[in-house]
Structure 1
Amino acid sequence: MSGGELIAAYIFGSVGRGNQDHLSDLDVLAVVRNGQGRVSESELLSKVPNRFSNLKSSVSWYGANRIEQMFRNGELFAWHLFRETVPLFDPHGFLEKIGKPAAYTDSVSDVISFRKVLQGIPNEVSENRGNAIYEAGLIYVCIRNIAMAASWSLCNQPDFSRYSVFNLEGIPPCPLSLAEFEKTMFCRMAGQRGGVPPEGVDPNFVLGLHKRLAPWLEALQIKLEEVKRRG
């Protein structure tokens, strides 16, 4: 549905943090008026400064009411936006008027949700060995989101970076090597952007990662539950 009204647009993610690299997309949040659809993507991207024109754009479309709801609920993405956005188009100070999100209290439930997604990976790989690339990319999505959620409780400040899984404090290190983690990341990028996935990603690789991650994620969840009980 097109013909919408753009209320505000912001850069977020690694470019918003100012630590982008050769792997970075340009993450753009587009806030539109509810019930009127989107504006054209070309209209939105015309507001992007030329210095970012070499980056592939990834647009997240949200109605204004949903953004306001996320801030009221204290959702992790609201804190992501609160901490890291750079305005592209903001004639009425949309996010500034919303103010600070409520406290984020869902780290345990968010970790549980992503662990449930991970639990299905062995079965998916076993049923269709051709799913290995996709499932490896799904491992990346899940453990990155888990780490971002956990960073709220285990780090001095929330860590939304690509490598947040290696920055958690108070628990054993992530059992994946940096090279293994990046393979899962490149699998995800290949699925999203096209291109050739990394070599060596087969069902055995995926199942091996999954097996090593399971006890570490269990320990992580227990740690978060302890932190929550202590208040």
Structure 2
Amino acid sequence: MNSGKLIGAYVFGSVGRGQHDSLSDLDVLAVVENGSGKVDEALVASLIPDDLTPLKLSISWYGRNRLREMFQNGELFAWHLHQETIPLFDPHQFLKALGQPNHYRDCLADVASFQKVLSEIPLQVSRNESNAVYEAGLIYVCLRNIAMAASWALCEKPDFSRYSAFRLRGYYPCPISLSEFELTMSCRMAGQRGLDPPKGVDRSFVLDLFERLEHWVQGLTIALQREALHGR
């Protein structure tokens, strides 16, 4: 259904932060009128500056009311948008009119949600070693989202970069190396973009990463619980 009414379109993500590189997608938020459906993607694409068109376009579609609700609930994605959007089409300054999101209160719940996904990885990769690349990509997703949520309590402001796990303050450093993390990121991108999977990713690699991360995330949860007691 492409009969919707476009209210606003905004770049966010690594491009919005000014941190994009050859691995980055062009993340675009498209806000449409409630109940009207999407607009033609070509319309959104036509708004993109020429210097950004080589990047792979990834559009996130939201209705007006849903975004307003997210800001009222203080959801982490609302803070993501509040910190780093660049308007492409914004005739009514929609996001600016929403103001600052309310306090983010779901840090522990969001960490627990991705911790649960992480905990299921050993079983899946043990059942079938051909799942190793996919499960390694899931490690990237879980670790990044856990770190983004934790950054609310442990950093001066939420960190939505892909390397947020290596920038947390007041807690032990991430127990996997940057090169190992980037290998999991390559696994995720291989699945999303249909690229050849990286070499060196097998069941033992995935299980080794999981073993190190499991205890680190458990300790991180305890640290966040302490922060919550102090009202952060």
Query: Normalized against structure 1, the TM-score is what?
Result: 0.98
SS in 2 for 1:176: coil
Q: Runs of 4+ in structure 1 displaced over 3 angstroms?
A: none
CA RMSD of aligned residues (A): 0.8
Which residue in the other structure is 2:48 paired with?
Answer: 48
SS of 1:157's partner is coil
Q: 2:25 & 2:42 partners in 1: Cα distance?
A: 17
User: Counterpart of 1:54 in 2: which secondary structure?
Assistant: coil
Q: Which residue of 1 aligns with 2:128?
A: 128
Instruction: String of CA shifts for 1:54-91, please: whole Å, max 9, x gaps.
Output: 11111111111111111000000000000100001111
Deviation at 1:170, TM superposition (A): 0.9
**SS of residue matched to 2:228:** helix
Q: Distance in 2 between matches of 1:69 and 1:105?
A: 14
Greater shift in the superposed pair: 97-106 or 75-84: 97-106
Name stretches of at least 5 consecutive residues in structure 1 with no aligned partner.
none
Separation in 1, partners of 2:228, 2:95? 29
Q: Does 1:171 align with 2:171?
A: yes
* Separation in 2, partners of 1:177, 1:88: 37
CA offsets per residue over residues 72-115 of structure 1, 9 Å max, x none? Answer: 00000000000100001111111011111001121111101110
Aligned to 2:148: 148
Distance in 1 between the 2:152 and 2:36 partners? Answer: 35
Matched, 1:186 2:194: no
Partner of 1:11: 11
The aligned counterpart of 2:202 is 202
Cα deviation 1:40-64 (Å, max 9, x = unaligned): 1111110000110111111111111
With 71-80 and 101-110 compared, the bigger mean Cα shift is at 101-110
Which residue of structure 2 lines up, in the alignment, with residue 226 of structure 1?
226
Deviation string 1:121-150 (CA, Å, 9 cap, x unpaired) is 111112222111111111101110110110
| Correspondence for 1:111 | 111
Q: Which moved more, 1:31-40 or 1:180-189?
A: 31-40
What is the aligned length?
231
Task: Return the alpha-carbon distance in structure 2 between the equivalents of residues 151 and 161 of structure 1.
Answer: 11
Identity of aligned residues (%): 62
Q: CA deviation at 1:9?
A: 0.5
How far apart are 1:176 and its partner, in Å? Answer: 0.5
Aligned to 1:61: 61
Gapped regions of structure 2 (runs ≥ 5)? none
